[in-house]
Structure 1
Amino acid sequence: MSELLRGPRTYGWAAGALVLLALPFYLDRFWLQAGLFAMAAAVGAIGLNLLTGATGQLSMGHAFFLAVGAYGYCVFAGDGGSAGGHRLAGLGLPTWLAAVLAVLLAGVAGGIFSPIAGRLRGAYLGIATLALIFIGQHVLFDATGLTGGFNGRDVPPLSLFGIRFDDSVTVVAAVPFQSSEKLWYVALAALLGCGLFARGVLRGRPGRAMNAIRDHRTAAGVMGVPVARYRAAVFVLSSMYAGLAGVLLALIFQRTVPDYFGMTLALEYLAMIVIGGLGSVAGAVVGAAFVSLLPQVLTHYSDGLPLVSEPGAGGVAPGEAARYLYGAAIVAVVLFLPGGLTRPTLSSREKK
């Protein structure tokens, strides 16, 4: 029976992969940008779900590690220049190497904070990680030589295998490929790799240990699980996922600004994993797609939607309307679908 079920499921995944590979040939720039934002958000949400959903460490500072990845890439890949009268730091490294180093830098930042995370749990850990947002915002606005300050700084385009992922036109099968079309495959590969790796972690021995720590920390230690080591390792891994998401977002935006990496972004990531399903890779992807696509879809169709309009036009702004809707979705999920939209298997403690 399992072999019979495996066949259709495999064909379904293969068909889905082919559709995703073909989309840049048919979608316009708006939908490609929306899909890119959703994939970048999904990478960060998977990392947060490993930390909060699977291990039970509440983090409200995920946006800080996204900022480390985004600005780390700009500093490693940038070649200097100036912005707003300030000289910008830049090492001029190859962009692929800069992306790798930015992800590692986010992991180092997570490793520095992990001893604090190991000593705290629950709301206290959430409050401690919340401090990272305030610290990060202060640094982003004031370290003008690194970040460009309030106006941000330009993002060097990625160059990989001789392909430059900018707005220069490359014709493929009579279709002009610009930055969005080219970055689509980079983001898709990153999401696929991150999703498969996280899925392997959760289904293996580390995943069982993480769930044991989440359900009963003391009992996990008694059973021989090195609790402190696992909590630190998952925090570093989650930070690296966030760093990669930050790099992808920087490449998509083509400019980094400090305002983006604030409290709103941190709360949006928590909304993603709650709506999609805690402790589930699929849940992180579904939640990220819902939260990231909703404001863009509302903006795109604001002219035809009731009560939704541009700011100052007498209705609710699309971004504001999106926050109302996914706020209501969180309440509905908590009340009626505690496992999230993907309905992952609940632990025995959660069932009680």
Structure 2
Amino acid sequence: MSDLRRRPAARFRLARVPILVAGAVVATAVPFYLEGFWLQTGLFAMSAAVGAIGINLLTGSTGQLSMGHAFFLAVGAYAYVYFAAVPEEGARHALGGLGLPTPLAAVLAVLTAGLAGGLFSPIAGRLKGAYLGIATLALIFLGQHLLFNAESVTGGYNGRAVPPLELFGLVFADSPTLVILDVPFGSLERLWFLGLLAVLGSAAFARGVLRGRPGPAMNTIRDHEIAAGVMGVPVARFRAGVFVLSSMYGGLAGVMLALVFQRTVPDHFGMLLSLDYLAMIVIGGLGSVGGAVIGAVFVSVLPQLLTRYSDALPLIAEPGSGGVSPAEAARILYGAAVVTVVLFLPGGLAGLLGRLRATITGRTSPARAPEIRLSSSPSPSPSPDTRS
């Protein structure tokens, strides 16, 4: 009987190999066949996936609600520009810069985002739930003030041009011209492969953290803080450390976003971006690396598709015309998706896929997805058995 039960699972594991190989082939071939719009949309999704993995480690796996993730994306994006840009001379409002090699600038930008998270980590280590969410909300207002007023660093309202990344002699820009198999490779085609490596590396590292020794400790802090303390888990230290790690993920996502946009603009790193990231992890599935990627793709691609096909879709009007714009329609749709997930799919899209997999393999259904606890009081203990 046990052999019969193992056969569907074994067949499923064997089927994963050709699926992964086919996925790798398709991902590699995409730049050779798709136009710039789809490549840019895919790169936006990759950047969002990296940032979503980071906030899912904090919120989904450790139970810490953060509403300031956009701040760390801004730190990563602007730090990269400042470290890599050559300072201007003779201008009335000169823009500063260190002119460092761009790979070094990217690494330092991620570390700077981690440093910003480290400065906030004493607060993150002592607050939880809605209290931490309100505290991180202040980071958004602080960040917006700095981005608009520190003009020598950020360029103010108009932002700054982003220096293209140059790695091993390859410039991730439209020039110099690069042609592969009769296909001109511009900045988007070159960044596509770099984005794939960033997503795969970020996902692999996060899975390693969750499957290693920190993972159970993070989950215990999320589910029952008192039990974690009794078991000897340094709760405040873990919370602070995960907050720094999440900040570094946000910094890397900011660097990727800046390279795709080719210009940093303060308005992009506001409250709505932080809410987008919370929507990503709820829709995809709290505590799941794959769920974070799925939710990031859904939330980041939907506005682009609605903008692309706004003429053919009902009830959607051009921005500024008085009707529902594509961006507003996208927020309405994935707002409805969040409500649907909370009510009917507590494990998100990743949980739904997990149940389908369990049905195919004949295993028991996966465990219930974690919840975001907004209150600071411990969960009530179950009532004793009253049966005689």
TM-score (norm 1): 0.96
- Residue 289 (structure 1) aligns with: 297
For 1:74, which of 81, 84, 96 is the aligned residue? 81
Q: What is aligned with 1:336?
A: 344
SS of 1:87 mapped into structure 2:
coil
Does the C-alpha gap of structure 1 residues 125 and 157 become closer, same or farther in structure 2, counting only changes over 3 Å? Answer: same
1:148 equivalent in alignment to 2:127: no
Give yes or no for the alignment of 1:20 onto 2:21.
Answer: no
C-alpha displacement of 1:10: 2.0
Question: Deviation at 1:337?
Answer: 0.5
Q: SS of the counterpart of 2:179?
A: strand
Structure 1 residue aligned with 2:233: 225
The worse-fitting range, judged by mean Cα deviation, of 335-344 and 121-130 is: 335-344
Structure 1 outlier segments of 4+, above 3 Å = 1-5, 82-85, 312-315, 344-350
The Cα of 1:195 is off from its aligned counterpart by 0.5
Partner of 1:192: 200
- Within 5 Å, give how 1:1-352 maps onto structure 2: 1=6, 3-81=10-88, 85-168=92-175, 169-313=177-321, 315-343=323-351, 345-346=366-367
Query: Alignment partner of 2:255: what SS?
Result: helix
1:7 deviation in Å?
A: 2.0
TM-score, normalised relative to structure 2: 0.88
2:285–2:369 CA contact under 8 A, matched in 1: no
Shift of 1:82: 7.2
Larger Rg: 2
Q: Aligned to 2:184, what secondary structure does the other structure show? A: strand
| Larger deviation, residues 301-310 vs 4-13 | 4-13
Aligned equivalents of 1:81, 1:157: Cα separation in 2: 17
Q: Is the 8 A contact 2:71 2:140 kept in 1?
A: yes
Preserved CA contact (<8 Å) 1:215 1:347 = no
Range with bigger deviation, 201-210 or 68-77: 201-210
Verify the 8 A CA contact 2:347 2:369 in the aligned structure 1. Answer: no
**Residue type matched to 2:117 in 1?**
G
1:188-244 residue CA offsets vs partner (Å, 9 max, x unmatched): 100000001111111222111100000011111111212122111111110000000
CA distance in 2, matches of 1:48, 1:192: 16
Measure the CA separation in 2 of the matches of 1:244 and 1:221.
Answer: 32
Question: Do the aligned partners of 2:73 and 2:255 also contact (CA within 8 Å) in 1?
Answer: yes
Residues 83, 153 of structure 1: 8 Å contact kept:
no
**1:276 and 1:285 in contact (8 A); partners too:** yes
Answer whether contact 1:86 1:144 (CA < 8 A) is retained: yes
Find the aligned partners of 2:34 and 2:195 in 1 and give their Cα distance.
16
The 3-state SS of whatever aligns with 1:93 is coil
Structure 1 residues 302, 115: CA separation in 2 closer, same or farther (over 3 Å shift)? same
Residues 36-89 of structure 1: CA deviation (Å, up to 9, x unaligned): 000000000000000000000100000000000000000100001279941111
Structure 2: 5+ residue runs without aligned partners?
1-5, 355-365, 372-381, 383-388
Q: Distance in 2 between matches of 1:83 and 1:339?
A: 57
Change over 3 Å in CA distance of 1:308–1:39 after alignment to 2: same
Q: 2:211 corresponds to which letter in structure 1?
A: R
Specify the code of the residue in structure 1 equivalent to 2:292.
A
Contact 1:75 1:89 in 2 (8 A): yes
Alpha-carbon distance in structure 2 between the residues aligned to 1:51 and 1:13: 28
CA contact (8 A) 1:32 1:184 kept: yes
Aligned partner of residue 338 in structure 1, secondary structure: coil
Distance 1:311 1:232 in 2: 41
Q: Any idea what the Cα deviations from partners look like across 1:172-200, whole Å, max 9, x if unmatched?
A: 11100000000001111000000011111
Secondary structure of the 1:86 match is: coil
- State the one-letter code of the partner of 2:182: A
**Number of residues paired by the alignment?**
351
Q: Is the 8 A contact 1:277 1:341 kept in 2?
A: yes
Q: How far off is 1:314 after superposition?
A: 5.5
CA distance in 2, matches of 1:188, 1:60: 27
Residues 83, 199 of structure 1: CA spacing in aligned structure 2 closer, same or farther, 3 A cutoff?
farther
Moved more, 161-170 or 24-33: 161-170
* One-letter identity of the residue aligned with 2:37: F
2:206 and 2:69 map into 1 onto residues whose CA distance is 17
CA distance in 1, matches of 2:91, 2:329: 34
